[in-house]
Amino acid sequence: MAISMRKEIDSLGPLNIPSYAYYGIRTMRAHLSFPSVSLPLHKELIVTLAQVKKAAAVANIRMGKLPRKLGGVMVLATDEVIRGLHTQNFILDSLHGGSSEAFNANMNEVIANRALELLLENKGDYRLCSPQEHVNLSQSAECTVSLAIRVALHRQVAHLARELEKLKARFSRLERRSILSEEKRLYAGVVRNLRAHRDRLQAPVDRLLGVRVMPVFLEDYLDDAFLPRMFSLLSESLQLDLRLIREPAEAADDGILPELSASLSKLSSALAKLCTKLLRAPLAKDGETMPERLETLRQVALQLAGNHRIVATASLLPAGTPQASPYVANTLLQSVTLLEHALFCLGGIVTMLEAAAEEKS
């Protein structure tokens, strides 16, 4: 059965887009320029950019720059993306060049076309709701996507730190319940190690909330009153203390991404070494799954070492090259996701240790 198509036109000419699609011509051209290599954008990055777009729409409505009815349906469209709807319409891989333009355009078109549908208008008829003139009003792609990247990383790493704290608390309880001095020393060492890595994550997590905005965006592209209002709305909705950094001296890259990546890589190596110690100590009965869990942690450590090399190399690119690209962000978010999986594996080992301790008591 033939797929129904709609025609959209830009400066390069017409292009057919599937009628069902919420993405539009700019996304399709980027997709054709950078074919899929099965490295999709992390769902947290999509959700966070939608939250930034929602804050931008509300700010523009309150400043009288966006009609209330149109802005209202745009907010409804962003809410749907935030809830996880329309994910299949984000067809670009994280590998689509160093710029954030394509990802930003994909989000703008999805929101615009869903808003048009809610207004009972045809998708692709951008006279009433334009991806660039309405959804992207007062914004620049680099600034908006950079903000989304830092917020997404902050939330994911903060969650990882909380999970690390829970694991540390479980080992603390094991230490208190242990009778043998050998076990007590082992668990005490684990607690110190986990606390150190949790503290090491905290500094970059806090710094992620300070978002640099290059002066060129403030002077040439953005309404000077818009960004503070958008930051305030986003901070309120996400319950975060976002800080807008304007001064050129402070706005210089703070090296936060390679620092964060190094901390994540060191944590994964530490978890693999910790699992090795627990495997050698005859403290759990289930000897079959322990080696499998250890191997999983080793594989996670290998993957994160590779991911850190990517992020560290990106930080060495020439001045003016965007370091907080969707690809780098995707790499870091993948590292966090893998570490959450590693903590789950280690948590299973702790469950075995807790069961063994229960039998002894």
Phi (first) and psi of residue 93, to 5 degrees: -75, 165
Mean pLDDT of the chain: 88
Model pLDDT, residue 318: 64
pLDDT at 345 over 50: yes
CATH number at residue 262: 1.20.200.10
Mean pLDDT of 164-190: 90
Model pLDDT, residue 19: 97
Lowest average pLDDT, out of 36-45, 210-219, 229-238, 333-342, goes to: 210-219
Q: Per the domain annotation, does 71 fall within a domain? A: yes
Model pLDDT, residue 250: 45
Q: Are residues 31 and 153 in the same domain?
A: no
Lowest average pLDDT, out of 230-244, 290-304, 317-331, goes to: 317-331
Q: Report the range out of 74-78, 271-275, 339-343, 347-351 with the highest average pLDDT.
A: 74-78
Q: Per the domain annotation, does 12 fall within a domain? A: no
Range of the domain at 344: 148-211+255-360
Q: Are residues 163 and 312 in the same domain?
A: yes
Could you tell me what percent of the chain has a pLDDT over 90?
Answer: 63
CA 181 to chain centre: 43
Mean pLDDT of 126-146: 94
Mean pLDDT of 304-333: 84
Q: Are residues 106 and 82 in the same domain?
A: yes
- From 111, 135, 159, the end of a domain falls on 135
Q: Per the domain annotation, does 42 fall within a domain? A: yes
pLDDT at 253 over 60: no
- From 135, 168, 198, the end of a domain falls on 135
Q: Per the domain annotation, does 10 fall within a domain? A: no
Q: Per the domain annotation, does 169 fall within a domain? A: yes
pLDDT at 126 over 50: yes
Model pLDDT, residue 355: 84
Quick: pLDDT tens for 8-48: 999 999 999 999 999 999 999 999 988 777 889 999 999 99
Q: Are residues 154 and 261 in the same domain?
A: yes
Quick: pLDDT tens for 271-312: 988 888 887 665 555 555 677 888 888 899 999 999 999 999
Instruction: State how many domains the chain has.
Output: 2
Could you tell me what percent of the chain has a pLDDT over 70?
Answer: 88
At 249, the pLDDT band (50, 70, 90 cuts) reads very low
Q: Are residues 200 and 92 in the same domain?
A: no
Give the CA distances from residue 171 to residues 168, 184, 269, 276, 303, in Å, rounded to whole numbers and listed in that order: 5, 10, 18, 16, 26
Nearest Cα to Cα of residue 10 among 20, 24, 25: 25
Q: Are residues 158 and 295 in the same domain?
A: yes
Q: Are residues 98 and 166 in the same domain?
A: no
Quick: pLDDT tens for 77-122: 999 999 999 999 999 988 876 668 999 999 999 999 999 999 999 9
Model pLDDT, residue 96: 75
Model pLDDT, residue 322: 57
Q: Per the domain annotation, does 30 fall within a domain? A: yes
Q: Are residues 263 and 318 in the same domain?
A: yes
Q: Which residue has the higher pLDDT, 73 or 100?
A: 73
Q: Per the domain annotation, does 247 fall within a domain? A: no
Q: Using alpha carbons only, how large is the chain's radius of gyration in Å? A: 24
Q: Are residues 35 and 83 in the same domain?
A: yes
- From 107, 135, 163, the end of a domain falls on 135
Nearest Cα to Cα of residue 137 among 76, 231, 227: 227
CATH number at residue 116: 1.10.275.10
CA dist 347 and 353 (Å) reads 10
Q: Per the domain annotation, does 220 fall within a domain? A: no
Q: Are residues 87 and 154 in the same domain?
A: no
Q: Are residues 36 and 178 in the same domain?
A: no
Q: Are residues 118 and 200 in the same domain?
A: no
